[in-house]
Amino acid sequence: MQEFGSAAAPAFEPQPFDRIAVIGAGAWGTALALTAYRAGRTVALWAREEAVIEQVARERRNPFLPAAIDIPEDILVSNDLARVLDGADLVLFVTPSQHLRAMVRRCRPMLSAGVPVVVCAKGVEGEGGALMSDVVMQELPGHDLAVLSGPTFAAEVARELPTAVTIAAAAEDGFGRSHLAARVAVSLATLTFRPYLSDDVVGVEVGGAVKNVIAIACGIAEGRGLGSNARAAIITRGLAELTRLAVALGARADSLGGLAGVGDLVLTCSSEQSRNFSFGKALGAGGNPDMAEGGPVVEGAVNAATVGALARKLGVAMPICAGVEAVLNGAAIDEIMASLMSGDLRPEALEAENDLRIPHPAATSQEQDHPTEEGRLSA
C-alpha cells in the first residue's frame, strides 16, 4: 500500500524466510520471536535459563518480558540449541553484547552452510573494540549478515504497539529482491512492526551501541534533578558524539539521523522503561543500582568502558561517554558535570568543530590542573 503523501515507486517482492531461530530469550529476543510468529514465520526460541523453559511450559509466559503476553504453543522454546537451529533458514542473535562471540561460536557447528544471520545485540566488544557485526563475521565466515536496530521497548513490541526499526545489510548492487535486509524486512513486517532498509551496517550499529551510554548520562541528570534542559543538551550532544564515532569507523553521518541513531537515542534517553536510563537515574540520586547476576543486563554500564576504549583508540572526542565511564569508575558526578559545562566554547556543527576553540571564561584553575585526554571534558 502506498504511504500517504508519497510518490508511487516501483515495487518488488523479496522472498521471506520461513523458519527463524531466535537465540536469546530475554525480553527483546522474546518480542522478536513473537513478531516473527505474527508475521507468519515458523519460530524457535533458545533460552539459556531453565526457569524460563519451565515457566513457558507451565504458563506460556516469559518472566523476562515485562508484559502479560502469552507465548503461542506453536513457538518452540527450548534450551536445546541443536533443536532450535535445526532447519532454520535465518538466525537472529539477541544475546547481550559481551556474550555474543561465545554464543556465535557455540552455534557455528550447528548452522547449515550459508544460513544468514541477523545481529540484534547492541554494543562494542571489550577486547579489541569490535562491533557486533565484526564479531559475527569473524566467527561465521561465509554467512551473510544483517543488523537490526532502532527505537524499541520489548514490552511495547510484544503488545503490538506501533514500532519502526532499521535493518541494515551490505548492498553492493543496490536494493533488490535478493538483498538480505529486504528479505529480513518482509520476514518480520506486520501491521504494527515496520522495518526500514539501510546499507550502512556500521552506522546502524554504532547508534545502538552508544545510545545506551548516553541514556545513563540522561538518567544521571534526571536523578540529580538537573532539569529538562540538561537532558535535551545531553541527547543532542550525545548524537554528535555517536555520529563522530560512526563516521570515524566509515559510516555515513546521515544514517545517524534515522531510527537507529536519533530515534533510538531519544527513546532510550527519555523513559524509565529504559534500563539504562533507570540505572543512571539511581546513580544520579546517590543510589547503588542493582546489577545482580541473572537480572536484566544494563548494556550501557558494560559499553561505557568499551565505547570509551574504542573512542580513545580512534582519537574521537566523546566527552559525555567519557564522563559516564568516569562516574562508573567512582568519579564525582558534580565534578564531571562542571567539567562538561566549562569546556572550551566552539561551533556546534560537526564539520566546524575543530575550526575554533575559545577558553570558557568560567573554567576554574582546578579544572585546568586536572585535564582529560582532550584538555577538559567538552561536549
Each residue of 212-241: pLDDT tens digit? 999 999 999 999 999 999 999 999 999 999
Instruction: Identify the band that residue 124 occupies on the pLDDT scale cut at 50, 70 and 90.
Output: very high
pLDDT tens sequence across 14-30: 999 999 999 999 999 99
Question: Last residue of a domain, which of 199, 224, 253?
Answer: 199
In this prediction, residue 9 has a pLDDT band, given cuts at 50, 70 and 90, of low
Last residue of a domain, which of 199, 221, 252? Answer: 199
Q: Does residue 6 form part of some domain?
A: no
**pLDDT at res. 378:** 53
Q: How confident is the model at residue 6 (pLDDT cuts 50, 70, 90)?
A: low
Amino acid 364: pLDDT:
57
Report phi then psi at 71, rounded to 5: -90, 120
pLDDT at 172 over 80: no
The residue annotated as part of the active site, out of 122, 211, 281, 313, is 211
Question: What is the rounded distance in angstroms from the CA atom of residue 183 to the CA atom of residue 20?
Answer: 12
Tens-place pLDDT, residues 313-330 = 999 999 999 999 999 999
Distance CA 286, CA 273 (A): 20
In whole angstroms, what is the distance from residue 265 CA to residue 249 CA?
A: 19
Both 233 and 303 in one domain: the answer is: yes
User: Phi and psi of 167, rounded to 5°?
Assistant: -115, 120
- Note whether residue 1 is domain-resident: no
Q: How does pLDDT run across 126-138, given as a tens digit for each residue?
A: 878 999 999 999 9
Do 53 and 127 sit in the same domain of this protein?
Answer: yes
Number of domains in the chain: 2
208 and 159 within one domain: no
Q: Does residue 68 surpass a pLDDT of 60?
A: yes
> Are residues 193 and 215 located together in one domain of the fold?
no
Crossing angle of the two packed helices 319-328 and 228-248, in degrees rounded to 10: 110
Asked whether residue 168 carries a pLDDT value surpassing 90, the answer given is yes
Both 242 and 359 in a single domain? yes
The string of DSSP codes covering 248-308 is HTT--GGGGGSIIIIIHHHHHTS-TTSHHHHHHHHHHTT------TTS---HHHHHHHHHH
pLDDT tens track for 44-62: 999 999 999 999 999 999 9
Q: Are residues 175 and 223 in the same domain?
A: no
2 falls within a domain: no
Question: Packing angle between helix 27-38 and helix 180-188, nearest 10 degrees?
Answer: 80
Query: By CB neighbour count within 10 A (0-12 exposed, 13-18 middle, 19+ buried), where does 116 fall?
Result: middle
Cell of 277: 536510563
Domain boundary at 147, 164, 199, which? 199
Residues 161 and 218 placed together within one structural domain of the fold: no
- The pLDDT of 246-265, averaged and rounded, is 96
- The pTM is what? 0.90
Binning pLDDT at 50, 70 and 90, where does residue 287 land?
confident
- The answer to whether 91 touches 23, Cβ cutoff 8 Å, is yes
Residue % of the chain over a pLDDT of 90: 77
Position 5 scores a pLDDT of: 52
How far from each other are the two terminal CA atoms of the chain, in whole angstroms?
Answer: 43
Give 322-331 contacts, CB < 8 A, sequence gap 24+.
322/372, 322/373, 322/377, 323/217, 323/377, 324/213, 324/214, 324/216, 324/217, 324/220, 324/280, 324/300, 325/213, 327/220, 327/283, 328/301, 328/304
Q: Is residue 8 part of a domain?
A: no
**Residue 279, CB-side half-sphere exposure with 13 Å CA sphere:** 25
The domain in which residue 302 lies consists of: 203-369
Gap between the Cα atoms of 335 and 167, Å rounded: 40
Q: Are 276 and 320 in contact (CB under 8 A)?
A: no
Q: Are residues 221 and 306 in the same domain?
A: yes
Contact present, 81 and 106 (Cβ < 8 Å): yes
Q: State whether 187 and 220 are in the same domain.
A: no
Rounded CA-CA distance 37/58 in Å is: 20
Active site residue 313: no
Q: What is the pLDDT of residues 340-360, one digit of tens each?
A: 999 888 888 766 566 688 899
What's residue 66's pLDDT? 82
- Asked if residue 294 has pLDDT above 50, the reply is no
In a shared domain, residues 127 and 143: yes
| 228 and 98 assigned to the same domain | no
Out of 171-175, 236-240, 276-280, which region has the weakest mean confidence (pLDDT)?
171-175
Percent of the chain, pLDDT > 70? 89
CB 133 within 8 A of CB 119: yes
104 part of a folded domain: yes
Q: Is residue 374 part of a domain?
A: no
Question: Grid coordinates in use for 160?
Answer: 503490538
Q: Is residue 10 part of a domain?
A: no
CATH code of the domain in which 244 resides: 1.10.1040.10
Around Cβ 26, how many Cβ atoms within 10 Å? 20
Reported as a pLDDT band with limits 50, 70 and 90, residue 7 is: low
- Domain at 187, CATH number: 3.40.50.720
For residues 214 and 143, membership in a common domain is answered with no
pLDDT tens, position by position, 233-245 = 999 999 999 999 9
Confirm whether 3 is domain-assigned: no
